A and B are shown apart, each in its own frame.
Chain A
């Protein structure tokens, strides 16, 4: 974990209520896709934990959904604004378990961390298939970005207004074979993926956090391998250890 000041480079609306923010600063403390950062915002007591979408040595890209006052405040930040950020939080996805073909499944605000993962798996020569699930066409983002890096991309919308109608699991048939899954999204989606997939997999969970770095036990969960802190021992859990 590292604490440092980042400068907002850009902050744009990608889809209904969804923003992409590029932060300039030390990106080297991000060590794995699926990690998150914790941002201090003026006037708010707790930091805001947001998953890392992508990163480079001198930048971190995050995508966040406006769900409350903190993210509303973030949406108003302009280029040049400075933010106190804790980086390198959480375990992230283990890329070594991907096999030759990885199936990445993201739902809504769970899509972003899969982008950084897809990019790095493809760079390692792996085949990447991605299923992105949204409620409706207005909410779809990053479909083109995934395609541009060479991921075989499927989009589902619950109302059928874009891509395959239904939930992410409705695209499993179209996506075909795979060796390992990586998923991130709301818990009902993770559970559906867990039940629909036949391989090993990694699941990124969300929980209300206090500190985000393992000190307060605010986000604990029970697993088959003992109690874990979503912020420090997670957010990524492996399929075998999950207790629903």
Chain B
């Protein structure tokens, strides 16, 4: 009997598989398809202080082995998330959920996190300082160590639950940003968000996406993500949530060997709505195949 359990910032999870924010809504769409309690947890749709429609369409472009999205943080705003989405989720998910938060100012982040921190269902706060699809916020907080630390401090000051800062790969030195977050009190780091990308339509000779650029995700970015998780693991002592192009139990194990305590699955959910359930089901067999008896023991095993 292999052990698939892991621990993320003091919260025990039955397995490390977490559908990533923006690919799983607020959970209940998927709960119609299978019992989502089989997941380690999931990170819900990026939530902001005020409701947002997001960017104009088209918001999606296909790429070889991946896709670009520029949704732009469409969400009903934190009040409605708490009053409408979380009660709906409570009916189909009994584990602590990861609350994903975005903002346009340090105050925004603190405001939204403080509200969600009080929700019993919320286990972790995942603070997204890396959304490439919004202007005047999002990624701009995740591209300098100072700004990332400032957001971290502000959120930590008003919350009690573990705060995980979600970092952007669109930086020169992700390690210095991860370290700044750790020093500012972050309980964990999640990485990587999408890579800034673009496609141009040969017929119209214009960008495919209305926002011109968007976040590139999917299996193509997996090696970049593994490398960055590996680098950050060497530099920090707080747990890491690894993500970027993960689509199989093998990928989950590889991410954990690089240093991840838990692993998110993003774009793959959009192609195969059952992929996270299947990864959870396949993990024990794949662990056996590689002689792994306890997942906790392999975290950072490649170092």
Contact = CB atoms under 8 A, between A and B. Distances in A.
Contact of B57 (A40, A207, A214): A207
Given A40-B271, A207-B58, A208-B60, A1 B24 contact: no
Contacts of A77: none
B269 A211 contact: yes
| Interface secondary structure of B, over-half rule | loop
Contacts of A210: 59-60, 67, 69, 270
A40 B247 CA distance: 15
A219 B219 CA distance: 22
A218 B71 contact: yes
Contacts of B104: none
B273 A216 contact: no
Given A45-B271, A210-B69, A227-B53, A215 B29 contact: yes
Contacts of B23: 211, 215-216
Contact of B74 (A46, A209, A217): A217
Interface in B20-65: 22-25, 29-30, 32-33, 45, 53-54, 57-65
A44 interface: yes
Contacts of A220: 53-54, 57, 59, 71, 74
Most buried by B among A86, A211, A221, A222: A211
Contacts of B74: 217, 220, 227
Interface in A145-176: none
A217 B57 CA distance: 10
Contacts of A209: 60
A200 interface: no
Nearest to B57: A207
A213 interface: yes
Nearest to A84: B272
Interface string A134-152: 0000000000000000000
B273 A86 contact: yes
B69 A214 contact: no
B23 to A, nearest CB: 6
Most buried by A among B24, B60, B269, B272: B60
A47 interface: yes
A194 B140 CA distance: 43
A227 B218 CA distance: 27
Contact of A45 (B22, B29, B33, B67): B67
B69 to A, nearest CB: 6
Contacts of A56: none
Interface residues of A, number: 25
A219 B59 contact: yes
A218 B33 CA distance: 20
Interface in A1-39: 1, 3
A164 B270 CA distance: 43
A217 B71 contact: yes
Nearest to A227: B53
Contacts of B273: 1, 3, 86, 211, 213, 215
Contacts of B207: none
Contact of B270 (A3, A208, A215, A221): A215
Contacts of A222: 53
A195 B58 CA distance: 25
B197 interface: no
Contact of B67 (A46, A213, A215): A46
Contacts of A45: 62-67, 218-219, 267, 271
A46 B59 contact: no
A227 B29 CA distance: 17
Nearest to A232: B29
Contacts of B274: 3
A46 B271 contact: yes
B39 to A, nearest CB: 14
Contacts of B219: 45
A28 B136 CA distance: 48
A215 B69 contact: no
A49 to B, nearest CB: 11
B62 to A, nearest CB: 5
Contacts of A213: 29, 273
Given A213-B273, A214-B29, A219 B60 contact: yes
Given A44-B62, A45-B218, A46-B62, A216 B57 contact: no
Interface of B: 22-25, 29-30, 32-33, 45, 53-54, 57-67, 69, 71, 74, 208, 218-219, 267, 269-274
Given A3-B274, A209-B60, A217-B54, 9 more contacts: A40-B271, A45-B66, A45-B271, A47-B271, A208-B61, A211-B23, A215-B23, A218-B57, A219-B59
25 contacts: A1-B32, A1-B273, A40-B272, A45-B65, A45-B66, A45-B67, A45-B219, A46-B62, A207-B57, A208-B58, A209-B60, A210-B59, A211-B269, A214-B25, A215-B23, A215-B269, A216-B22, A216-B71, A217-B45, A217-B59, A218-B71, A219-B57, A220-B57, A221-B57, A227-B74
